Structure 1
Amino acid sequence: MKKILLYSAACLLALSSCDMDINENPNYPASGDITPSLEFPAVQNAIAAVPGDAMFTYGGYFAQYFEQRPEYNQYNDIAELHFDEASQLFDRCYRTIYAGAMTDIKDIESKTTNTANLYVCKVMTALAMQYMVDACSDAPYTEACQGSANPNPVWDDGQSVYENVLKAMDEAEAAIAASDNIDMTDPMFSKNLDSWKRFANALRLRMYMRLIDANVDAANYTAKAKAIVANGILPVSDVVFNVYSNAEGQYNPWYSNIFSLNANNFCAAYPLVTYFNSTNDPREAYALNKAAASGKYVGEIPGAKTKYLEWDGTKLMDKDVSLVNTEVAKAMPVYLFTLSEVEFLKAEVELRFNNDEAAAKADYEAAVENDFLSRQVAGYSDFIAGDKVNFDKQATKEDKLKLIYMQKWVALFYRNHFEAWSEQRRTDVPAVSSASAEKVHKDPTSYTAGNLIVPAVNYYGNNGLCKRMPYPSSARQLNKNTPAVKTLADPVFWDVK
């Protein structure tokens, strides 16, 4: 399987830049010879690279899991929100989605009439477009990937993209012929159509919640969300892209970049560590190391690497903070949708829309337990009995909902940082502390454990957090229809709280 995937990816890289037939590399097949079975693994690989590589890093900072390690400097600009379009942070993801996945999907769709194949292509399209919209709010969709016939596709507004890909996925599922089965190579689900339908429902539920909270046809999407939860046709295990190993050249893509740089730039952020500590959470040890100087888990204040000398008269050093254990990620799959996230969404629907606290509690506890199991961490029973995380010990419905959101934030750490950032923007949980970074450092009693902190050094100047990715610089250079420049403070369409 890995050989097929790598071969397919190499072929597609060779073919993505132009459509000319001359000077073809004889080591690669001609475009017409590439079958959907070879292309579909490359589609999955490309889409998985978005949350599994660059956005694992950026989302890790924006969700305040990560901070820049004190004695390293690669991600200072991310920690301090010192970037714009010229920084080209999202360009690689943009190219991966369009020049890679979407172009390949379009080619597959031109080569097959198999309705099961066409359906799973629509599911992957929905996921890819969800990523684009959640990052940039707008996305080329209706005119995308038309090549020289339309080199300047319009950028559709995010709401219409969400609604159109959901509609296309519904129509493709309804059109599946009873005689058709997936016949493309399928690393994600091994051609199991039932698993694809369960994954599609999870995607629907995730996207419905964002549409509901944006007050887009909320009654309709609320009814749809309730129906999905009631039907229960949802994933029964983590949805992953899992083709990696401990062998050099086959590492997880995020780890591979760390390995190639020979540098671990990541330490734990203060909000994550304080919340772990306040709830006596044994998952803290899963991917964090105790600070060498104190033997305790210590988080770095967001954006404050250069401020400790000013505040304390002593420069912050690596030994003073908890470093991220990147070895855990060496062969880690890319988590596209965890079972824990599914259960948290179910708990939210039961609590918010069905007013069923008993069902919400069961789903909440299943979500937390599944995360413990996923990480092979012991101690779930003792943990869930703790006052701060026990569902029954939350005083109000609002407190229970906040607990669901907070524990989802914890469970997405070292799983899917892009989704963690998106869910924080949707729910406003963790909340943003009213205390400044300096105040939190000097007076920890002013701070509620787990709350996000406005970075101590914050170049974009709006006294807030990053709400979106800048449009890709390469898109602006090549497509005159790229929308006007947005700031980091401009939210995506569904971020209205």
Structure 2
Amino acid sequence: MKNTAKILAVSSLSVLAVSCDSFLDINQNPNNPLTVTADAILAQALTTTANTYSINYNPYSAFAAGYVAKSGTVNGYAPERTYNYNSNFSQTLFTNTFDNIYDYDIIERQGKAANQPYHSAIAKIMKVYNYQLLVDQYGDIPYSKALGGLANITPVYDKADAIYKDFIVKLNEAIAEIDAANKQTSPIPRAVGAEDVVFQGTMTSWVRFANSLKLRILMRQSSQPTLSSYVSTEMTRLQASIASGTPGAAGFITTDVVCNPGYVQASGQQNPFWDRYRADAGGTSSTERYYTLPTKYLLAQFLLNRDPRGYRIFNTTATGFTGGAELGESAPLPGNAATRFRDFGGVFKGPDAPVPLMLRAEDLFSQAEARERGFFTGGSAKNDFNAGITASFNYFYTPSPANRQNATRDSSAFVAAKVTKYLTAAVNVNNGLVNWDVTTTQIPEANIFGGARVTAATYTARLTTPRSVTNQEKIIYQKYLAMTGVASTEAWDDYRRTGYPRFAPSLQTTSPRPDKLPTRLLYPQSEITTNLANLPQGISQFTTLIFWDPS
């Protein structure tokens, strides 16, 4: 691992924080020493996380999870079309995430040394967030010795399952540190202010986020039978920890967790996803806008269920969608002649839109699954399930700040009416993928159509004989739709964990697996070059599983 390069990256980030008026301005000077305080670099660290999540993790996972495919406008995309990954494919996920973790490590250490315990706790939470992203794509990674700097530029790799267990320890520590800081009177700890571009210094929200991260972590582990006792114990502790009178009593997140350092339509200051895939600050369309299209499978789900979100997320014509793509097809439609993500819609909200780090819908569906599987007592899995659908509608129908132009269409009542229309639509009354109380559906799995192929002709086709639907399938199915275009990584992780939904794999896949999909990424070339002695060997993107993957 290139620790020297990472140290220089952190140094430039530190200068950035103290020499600029805006959290989005860039003026790097890697020769400046690390003498800044934790509050001075927090905003840039959080913004970097948002950038990496939205334009590194999300695009790779969107292909793997069957959300998007290559259009006919561009050549290339061979790894995405075949899953034949190599050590150069998406290696910025690894390097950029570790760079960001170094930033948080400095914030944590500086915060502890300068009576900034809130900043330190935030950094500890965000280190877990980033480390989990790495483990979920690579498995074993440097962890216990990863942040040694020049003293250890070739750190050993820790086992992924042991790292995951330490995540819970670290999050519990962060919550306890926040609680202790709340009670500290001498000296009074420094408050978190505008530098917190996620929760604006509201530490109760950080406790909720830590609890929701714990739930995400434990749900991943729950698919591994050897961890059943551990997961049950930790789930019980988690539920008890949010009881009144405990440090974690704030509960789970109550809103979408988003990062907004002040995105505006200006060069270098736009929402990174919009800037890369939609338009530059002058309004000129990005060429990458036309490189990918939503898959036919994804479009089919919105059409088959008469789901209003489809018309919010994608552009449409008077007759509906104009066409999608299939992973690996030899003659896909041009990117400017088929259905794309809608401008100022549910995914491309605008240049000033915040970047989601965790959707409330995801958390609610996780709570529904935890209750359904007996990990949580009390409450109602059905209520969580329906609340997750509502939260998803709220996310996709909420415009960016600069595009709140219609008080009626932007109102909660308008969105609530859309949810009711969806849940009560005639085609969904007996559809177990939408109605919690129904155990069958006529919506086909992708693999029912001739070996996992979904064509334009099947957009409205239904099964003659209904098939069974488990409660876990309906939860993950709705969660998949809620993640569309903005949290593809979580959908991809959930597929590998549960096998749902059974979306169509690539036509050109080289995978030997029954589902024809990959299982992970390969370690990047940078690690092969600099840390080969510690690198796990014999890794295959088709047969080497992340520890929580039961397949």
Match of 2:323 among 298, 304, 312: 298
Q: Does 1:288 align with 2:314?
A: yes
Most deviating of 123-132 and 238-247: 238-247
Contact preservation (8 Å) 1:69, 1:323: no
Match of 1:312 in 2: none
SS at match of 2:357: strand
1:399/1:50 CA distance change after superposition, 3 Å: same
Per-residue deviation, residues 263-283 of structure 1 (Å, max 9, x unmatched): 311211122111111111011
Post-superposition offset of 1:51? 2.0
Match of 1:444 in 2: none
Find the aligned partners of 2:236 and 2:356 in 1 and give their Cα distance.
Answer: 25
Amino acid of the structure 2 residue aligned with 1:339: R
RMSD: 2.9
Q: Does 1:479 align with 2:480?
A: no
Per-residue deviation, residues 276-325 of structure 1 (Å, max 9, x unmatched): 11111011122222379x75353322211x1x5xxxxxx74446642233
Most deviating of 226-235 and 270-279: 226-235
Match of 2:374 among 322, 346, 353: 353
1:107/1:321 CA distance change after superposition, 3 Å: same
Q: Does 1:492 align with 2:546?
A: yes
Per-residue deviation, residues 339-377 of structure 1 (Å, max 9, x unmatched): 111110111111111698971111111110111112225
Amino acid of the structure 2 residue aligned with 1:472: P
Per-residue deviation, residues 143-184 of structure 1 (Å, max 9, x unmatched): 112122111001111111111122122123324332246446
Match of 2:107 in 1: 108
Match of 1:18 in 2: none
SS at match of 2:437: helix
Superposed, which structure 2 residues align to 1:55-66 within 5 Å? 55-66=57-68
Post-superposition offset of 1:94? 1.8
Most deviating of 369-378 and 315-324: 315-324
Match of 2:484 among 383, 392, 413: 413
Q: Does 1:275 align with 2:301?
A: yes
Q: Does 1:422 align with 2:493?
A: yes
1:27/1:410 CA distance change after superposition, 3 Å: closer
Find the aligned partners of 2:199 and 2:43 in 1 and give their Cα distance.
Answer: 11
TM-score (norm 2): 0.75
Amino acid of the structure 2 residue aligned with 1:117: H
1:375/1:157 CA distance change after superposition, 3 Å: same
1:69/1:41 CA distance change after superposition, 3 Å: same
Contact preservation (8 Å) 1:351, 1:357: no
Find the aligned partners of 2:265 and 2:550 in 1 and give their Cα distance.
Answer: 42
Amino acid of the structure 2 residue aligned with 1:147: G
Post-superposition offset of 1:117? 2.5
Q: Does 1:381 align with 2:381?
A: no
Find the aligned partners of 1:80 and 1:189 in 2 and give their Cα distance.
Answer: 40
- In structure 2, list runs of 5 or more residues that go unmatched: 1-8, 17-26, 243-249, 281-285, 398-414, 442-467
Per-residue deviation, residues 413-438 of structure 1 (Å, max 9, x unmatched): 1221111111111111012xxxxxxx
SS at match of 1:267: strand
SS at match of 1:112: helix
Superposed, which structure 2 residues align to 1:199-210 within 5 Å? 199-210=209-220
Give identity over the alignment, percent: 24
Find the aligned partners of 1:206 and 1:133 in 2 and give their Cα distance.
Answer: 13
Amino acid of the structure 1 residue aligned with 2:297: P
Per-residue deviation, residues 210-265 of structure 1 (Å, max 9, x unmatched): 11211353223224325545737011100111232333422222232234653311
Contact preservation (8 Å) 2:192, 2:200: no
1:195/1:419 CA distance change after superposition, 3 Å: same
Find the aligned partners of 1:220 and 1:42 in 2 and give their Cα distance.
Answer: 36
Find the aligned partners of 1:355 and 1:333 in 2 and give their Cα distance.
Answer: 32
Amino acid of the structure 1 residue aligned with 2:111: T
Match of 2:259 in 1: 241
Contact preservation (8 Å) 1:339, 1:370: yes
SS at match of 2:69: strand
Match of 1:73 among 47, 72, 75: 75
Per-residue deviation, residues 181-207 of structure 1 (Å, max 9, x unmatched): 644621111121111100000000000
Post-superposition offset of 1:395? 5.2
Match of 2:20 in 1: none
Contact preservation (8 Å) 1:229, 1:346: no
SS at match of 2:288: coil
- In structure 1, list runs of 5 or more residues that go unmatched: 1-7, 16-24, 309-314, 432-451
Post-superposition offset of 1:116? 2.6
Post-superposition offset of 1:73? 2.6
Number of residue pairs the alignment of both structures matches: 450
Match of 1:394 in 2: 439
Amino acid of the structure 1 residue aligned with 2:298: L
Contact preservation (8 Å) 1:291, 1:323: no
1:9/1:115 CA distance change after superposition, 3 Å: closer
Post-superposition offset of 1:462? 4.8
Match of 1:5 in 2: none
Most deviating of 104-113 and 35-44: 104-113
Post-superposition offset of 1:75? 2.9
Match of 2:518 in 1: 466
Match of 1:250 in 2: 269
Superposed, which structure 2 residues align to 1:444-455 within 5 Å? 452-455=503-506
Find the aligned partners of 1:77 and 1:130 in 2 and give their Cα distance.
Answer: 24
Match of 2:460 in 1: none
Amino acid of the structure 2 residue aligned with 1:12: L
SS at match of 1:67: strand
Find the aligned partners of 1:486 and 1:291 in 2 and give their Cα distance.
Answer: 46
Match of 1:335 in 2: 356
Amino acid of the structure 2 residue aligned with 1:98: F
Match of 2:205 among 195, 207, 222: 195
Find the aligned partners of 1:257 and 1:485 in 2 and give their Cα distance.
Answer: 35
Find the aligned partners of 1:282 and 1:321 in 2 and give their Cα distance.
Answer: 19
1:318/1:165 CA distance change after superposition, 3 Å: closer
Find the aligned partners of 1:93 and 1:329 in 2 and give their Cα distance.
Answer: 24
